Structure 1
Amino acid sequence: MKKGKAVVVFSGGQDSTTCLFWALDRYEEVEAVTFNYGQRHALELECAAQIAAELGVRHHVLDMSLLNQLAPNALTRSDIEIEEKEGGLPTTFVDGRNLLFLSFAAVLAKQIGARAIVTGVCETDFSGYPDCRDIFIKSLNVTLNLSMDYPFVIETPLMWLDKAETWELADQLGAFEYVRTKTLTCYNGVIADGCGECPACKLRSQGLNRYLASKEEGKAE
Structure 2
Amino acid sequence: MSEVTKAKVVVIFSGGMDSFTVLHKALSQGYEVYAVSFNYGQRHDKELIYAANVCKELSITHKIVDLTSLNPLLAGSSLTDNIDVPEGHYEETSMKSTVVPNRNMIMLSMAVGYAVSISAEAVYFGAHSGDHAIYPDCRTEFVEAMNAVCQIANYAPVDIRAPYLKNDKIEILAEGLSMGLDYRKTWTCYNGRDKACGKCGACQERLEAFEKNKAVDPLEYE
Which TM-score applies when normalising by structure 1?
0.87
- The 3-state SS of whatever aligns with 2:151 is helix
Match of 1:90 in 2: 96
Question: Deviation at 1:154?
Answer: 1.2
- Unaligned runs of at least 5 residues, structure 1: 214-221
Deviations 1:166-202 (A, max 9, x none): 1111022221xx12x11000011257x8221111000
How many pairs are equivalent?
Answer: 208
1:71 aligns with 2:77: no
Alignment RMSD = 2.2
Match of 2:122 in 1: 116
Question: Deviation at 1:75?
Answer: 0.8
1:15 aligns with 2:18: yes
Could you tell which deviates more after superposition, 125-134 or 29-38?
125-134
- 1:130-149 → structure 2 map (5 Å cutoff): 130-149=136-155
- Unaligned runs of at least 5 residues, structure 2: 216-222
1:170 aligns with 2:176: yes
Which TM-score applies when normalising by structure 2?
0.86
Identity of paired residues, percent?
A: 39
Query: What is the letter of the counterpart of residue 189 of structure 2?
Result: C
Assess, with a 3 A threshold, how the Cα gap between structure 1 residues 163 and 27 changes in structure 2: closer, same or farther.
Answer: same
Match of 2:203 in 1: 201
Assess, with a 3 A threshold, how the Cα gap between structure 1 residues 87 and 189 changes in structure 2: closer, same or farther.
Answer: closer
Assess, with a 3 A threshold, how the Cα gap between structure 1 residues 38 and 127 changes in structure 2: closer, same or farther.
Answer: same
More helix per residue: 1
Query: What is the letter of the counterpart of residue 200 of structure 1?
Result: A
Write the distance in 2 (CA, Å) between the matches of 1:171 and 1:89.
27
Write the distance in 1 (CA, Å) between the matches of 2:93 and 2:80.
22
